[in-house]
């Protein structure tokens, strides 16, 4: 048979709980202004944080640039023409949380010849000259160890910019 707790212990616990509740109510009644001030400070702090993030992130973006201006995402050239990736000074510009992360942009070129039954394949080199469609893909791959930059880079980690260069037949 289990022993029942002594009634004196239960009475003491209830008395302590009642006293704590009564003291809490008294404090709340006496210091209403303090509690209201704390709630207002909390709300103002949250609002100030949201405004600060908005101001810092207002210029964020992942764009293609050439000489500082926005760049065309599709270029069409006639058969026999060439396109040099490095000649036009094109870059992918990434700004996140006020930090420039453009150094971490990876460029990948895929090539699809106009031949029937052709498959998309990787293309090595910076001069595009064969007839077909070239897909130039820009992705952000952050490899640094700075926590703030890593957090900023996560905003664009799933973004891929695409530029299409068509040379030849259908151009």
The pLDDT tens digits for 80-136 are: 788 777 766 667 788 888 888 888 888 888 887 776 766 677 777 777 877 888 888
Helix axes 7-30, 32-56, angle to 10 degrees: 70
Q: Quick check: helix, strand or coil at residue 92?
A: strand
Alpha-carbon distance of 87 to 128, in angstroms, equals 11
Q: Quick check: helix, strand or coil at residue 171?
A: coil
pLDDT at 1 > cutoff 50? no
| pLDDT value, residue 38 | 92
Q: How far is CA 29 from the centre of its chain?
A: 46
pLDDT at 159 > cutoff 90? no
Banded model confidence at residue 170, pLDDT cuts 50, 70, 90? low
Higher pLDDT, 1 or 147: 147
pLDDT tens for 18-58 read 888 888 888 878 888 888 899 999 999 999 999 998 888 88
Higher pLDDT, 1 or 40: 40
| pLDDT value, residue 66 | 60
Kindly list the domain boundaries of the chain, sorted by start residue.
7-56, 61-167
Domain 61-167 annotated CATH 3.90.830: no
pTM above 0.85, yes or no: no
Provide the b/e sequence for 115-146 (b: ≥16 CB within 10 Å). eeeeeeeebeeeebeebbbbebebbbebeeee
Q: Quick check: helix, strand or coil at residue 17?
A: helix
How many contiguous H segments (helices) and E segments (strands) does the chain have? 3, 11
Angle at 149 (CA atoms; ends 47, 86), nearest 5 degrees: 125
């Amino acid at each position: 048979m289990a022993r029942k707790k002594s009634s004196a212990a239960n009475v003491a616990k209830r008395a302590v709980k009642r006293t704590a509740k009564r003291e809490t109510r008294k404090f709340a009644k006496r210091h209403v202004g303090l509690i209201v001030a704390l709630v207002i400070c909390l709300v103002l702090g949250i609002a100030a944080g949201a405004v600060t993030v908005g101001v810092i992130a207002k210029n964020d973006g992942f764009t293609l640039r050439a000489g500082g201006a926005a760049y065309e995402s599709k270029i069409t050239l006639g058969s026999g023409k060439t396109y040099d990736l490095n000649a036009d000074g094109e870059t992918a510009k990434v700004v996140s949380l006020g930090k420039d992360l453009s150094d971490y942009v990876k460029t990948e070129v895929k090539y699809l010849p106009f031949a029937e039954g052709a498959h998309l394949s990787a293309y090595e080199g910076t001069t595009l000259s064969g007839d077909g469609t070239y897909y130039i893909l820009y992705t952000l791959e952050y490899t640094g160890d700075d926590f703030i930059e890593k957090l900023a880079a996560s905003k664009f980690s799933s973004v891929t910019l695409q530029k299409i260069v068509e040379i030849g037949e259908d151009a």
